Amino acid sequence: MRTSITYCCFVFSLIALCVRADTEIINFRLPLPPHTTTYPTPDSLVYTISPYETSTLNLTDSSPERWFALDMGNMKGSYKSWTLRASWPGSSPTKITLSPPLSPGYFTLHAAALSPRFPHHPPVLPYIPYMNHLTSFISSLLTIPPPKPKLSDDQFHTPLHLTLEPLLFGFLPYTALPAVGLIILFVTVAGMGVPYVIRGLEWAGNWAQAEDRRRGEGERERVKEE
């Protein structure tokens, strides 16, 4: 059991290292609570999103907000619990806010600059007599050029993926089911194989100890004969 828990933690740590994106998640249940004021303005562009669909969009400082409408279709009665997941690259520091969907199914997605960008300065190397060429060469290697195009603190350009999917058993996202099944399979195989590995290691250790004893006895006998 302890080995299985350790293996599971190892798998989760690998998954965490592979994930290099920021995520904003909103869970909700059907039917949606009524709301009389959450409606887009007449001139707003309203996007629709359906179950198992991933919408790709770009949010900028000049267009930071999007209106969405849920298009559940025939899936309204299939699942009660649903999740909206917005993900964007960690290289684009942005604060994403998802509003919970309200009846008849409208919600907003808003973006804002998360943190100011700091200018990069090359490291200052100490002065070494007669080594000016070497220090300047090293400084040029350590200098990281600023990203282009350069954005001000309140500017951003963030590509974003928005996914709508059901929650199995009320808590498990549908797309996470294969990963969970794979983890369970790995833990099961590890739990079945570890006892045999331990027995093999114990046998190898006992065999090595027996060989050491035989060698020691042989050396003692040779000493007695001499």
User: pLDDT at position 25, please?
Assistant: 94
Which residues partner with 60 through β-bridges?
A: 63, 157
Structure tokens at 215: 């060698």
142 Cβ partners below 8 Å, 6+ apart?
122, 123
Cα–Cα distance for residue pair 143/126, rounded to 1 Å: 16
Cα–Cα distance for residue pair 211/95, rounded to 1 Å: 65
93: three-class secondary structure by DSSP: coil
User: pLDDT at position 16, please?
Assistant: 46
Structure tokens at 185: 């399979």
Residue carrying the six token digits 């090595």: 208
> Average of pLDDT values for 80-103?
91
Kind of pairing, strands 53-60 and 46-49?
unpaired
Q: Give percent of the chain with pLDDT exceeding 90.
A: 29
Query: Does residue 100 contact residue 93 with C-beta atoms inside 8 Å?
Result: no
Q: CA-CA-CA-CA torsion for 84, 89, 93, 99, nearest 10 degrees? A: -10
User: pLDDT at position 226, please?
Assistant: 63
Residue bearing the bigger pLDDT, 103 or 196: 103
Q: To the nearest whole number, what is the mean pLDDT of the chain?
A: 77
- Is the model's pLDDT at 7 over the cut of 70? no
Helix 2-18, helix 177-225: angle, nearest 10? 120
Which residues partner with 109 through β-bridges?
A: 66, 98
User: pLDDT at position 222, please?
Assistant: 72
> Average of pLDDT values for 57-71?
92
- Is the model's pLDDT at 123 over the cut of 70? no
Question: Per residue in 145-169, pLDDT tens?
Answer: 445 455 565 678 899 999 999 999 8
Cα–Cα distance for residue pair 35/101, rounded to 1 Å: 10
CA 104 to chain centre: 32
> Average of pLDDT values for 82-104?
90
- Is the model's pLDDT at 98 over the cut of 90? yes
Residue bearing the bigger pLDDT, 134 or 204: 204
Domain parsing of the chain, residue ranges: 2-116+155-174
